[in-house]
Amino acid sequence: MSVLVDGVSLAVGTFTRVPVPPPQRVGPPQARVAMLVAPVIGVLVAAPGALVLLAAHRFDVDATVAAVAAVASLAWVTRGLHLDGLADLSDALGSGRRGVDALAVLRDPHVGAFAVVTVLLVLLAQVASLAALQTGGHAASAWIVAVVTGRCAVVAGCRQGVPAAAPTGLGAAVAGSVPAGAVATVLLAVLGLGWWLLGTAGVVAVLLAGVVVAWQLRVAVSRLGGVTGDVLGALVELATTSVLVVAAVLLPQG
């Protein structure tokens, strides 16, 4: 029971701004629980944005304004943690360096041009896709699927066989903590969610997001030597954005 409690505490403290007591112990069992709980946390952090989108659709609020509010709500409830990871990874990969040199760029607190451009484009893609989906009345459902899929990407990034890029930090604590079978189970569950809320478009969106995550994970491991907390955060944002973009392309817009 203590492993479960510590794992959930680690997940909530890592993926949200909700104040929780810190876990008494963080080891492979607690990390495994935390990563497997991540998609469930995704439902919770998606809820404020989904409610905003539903209310905006009900009261005929401008679709773009509603989309901005939903994206902002997620950034607030997660402390912008994953956007920060995306920014750091963008600078590291954009630098053209490898190994410890790339990790040094990743850890540099300064924000470079690659980070600014990447984060800006991702946020614009999220807002534009949500606005299009809002017009067709699909935004709230797509938002939930996208945010949960983003947290599923963390599970994939922590599967066994994927090393940590450094001996310390979040990546070192959770790398390789999730068995491949558990990753497959979580993916099937998220595919089921996509089918339930969005039909075939939801399944296609989740699968294509998985392709994006697999590609980015491969690049990160090749360039950095493994995963870090920033890499996992970047995977979250890329998966979330991919689902929204694909859903906006496939679903009718009114």
Does the residue 23 lie in any domain? no
Task: Give the separation between CA 194 and CA 200, rounded to whole angstroms.
Answer: 8
CA dist., res. 206 & res. 193, Å (int): 10
Can you give the pTM of this predicted structure?
0.94
From residue 179, alpha-carbon distances to 162, 172, 188, 247 in Å are 11, 16, 15, 29
Domain count, the chain: 1
Query: Tokens 């870090």 map to which residue?
Result: 228
pLDDT, tens only, 111-155: 899 999 999 999 999 999 999 999 889 999 999 999 999 999 999
Look at residue 30 and tell me if it is in a domain.
no
**Of 68-77, 103-112, 227-236, the least confident:** 103-112
Is 34 contained in some domain? no
Residue 27 has pLDDT above 60, yes or no: yes
Average pLDDT, the chain: 91
Nearest-10 Cα torsion for 57, 62, 65, 66: 0
Q: Is 97 left (phi over 0), alpha (psi -120 to 50) or beta?
A: beta
Is the pLDDT reported for residue 218 higher than 90?
A: yes
Domain for residue 185, yes or no?
A: yes
d(CA 128, CA 236): 18
pLDDT tens digit string along 156-205? 999 999 999 888 877 788 888 899 899 999 999 999 999 999 999 999 99
Give domain status of residue 29, yes or no.
no
Residue 227 belongs to a domain: yes
Q: Which residue segment(s) compose the domain that 56 sits in?
A: 40-250
Has residue 107 been placed in a domain?
Answer: yes
Query: Which of 156, 161, 152, 172 lies closest to 229, judged by CA?
Result: 172
Evaluate whether residue 35 is within a structural domain. Answer: no
